[in-house]
Structure 1
Amino acid sequence: MRTIVDLPEGERDQLDALCSQRGISRAQALREALILWLERERPRHADVFGLWSDRDLDGVALQRRIRQEWDQR
């Protein structure tokens, strides 16, 4: 997929300098940056799985309680 990215002049100059140092194209640098950003922002199920395991909670009961709150508004 091709796309157009508008960058302020300062960021473009920094990107060009980095690309020159590494011997890569702007496109390659942006692909690498996007991969790193997506990896960082991706939800990590292992990080959140079991967070409420110490609570005595019934998931269905919790859903019903939350939905009742919606109806009261």
Structure 2
Amino acid sequence: MIAGFGGPERPSSFACGDLLARMATIDEDAMPATVEIPSEQVEALDRIAAREHMSREALVQSLIAEFVSRHGSASDLDRFFGNWGDRPIDGLELQSRLRAEW
């Protein structure tokens, strides 16, 4: 196994050129992260990674990228900020009024 490429062994077709291509695309702004994942899910990730001929790390990175592209684009987040702006009452005023009912 190649250090830093966790997961199952690469197929015999793995060559130095593949390693150099992967190293050339390393994101210097990447955030190292430690995440606790139940062993059953780790085993499932390993099976999927082996089937896809990729490392567990690469699989997790691609899954995160897919999730973010579906759920977290900046334009989606921007849509939700300021949602209260068209309401006739100030949010803080409404909050105070509701708490007074308690």
Same fold (TM over 0.5): yes
Normalized against structure 1, the TM-score is what? 0.60
Compute the RMSD of aligned alpha carbons.
Answer: 2.5
Give aligned-pair identity as a percent. 14
Match of 1:33 in 2: 63
Matches within 5 A, 1:1-73: 1-42=31-72, 45=76, 59=86, 62=87, 65-67=89-91, 68-70=93-95, 72=97, 73=100
- Note closer, same or farther for the CA distance 1:66–1:22 as it changes in structure 2 (3 Å cut): same
Secondary structure of the residue aligned to 1:6 is coil
Normalized against structure 2, the TM-score is what? 0.46
Match of 1:54 in 2: none
- Note closer, same or farther for the CA distance 1:71–1:5 as it changes in structure 2 (3 Å cut): closer
Q: Structure 1 regions of 5+ residues with no counterpart? A: 49-58
Output the CA distance in 1 between the equivalents of 2:40 and 2:65: 22
Give, in angstroms, the shift of residue 42 of structure 1: 2.1
Residues paired across the two proteins, number: 59
List structure 1 runs of 4+ shifted beyond 3 angstroms. Answer: 70-73
Higher relative helix content = 1
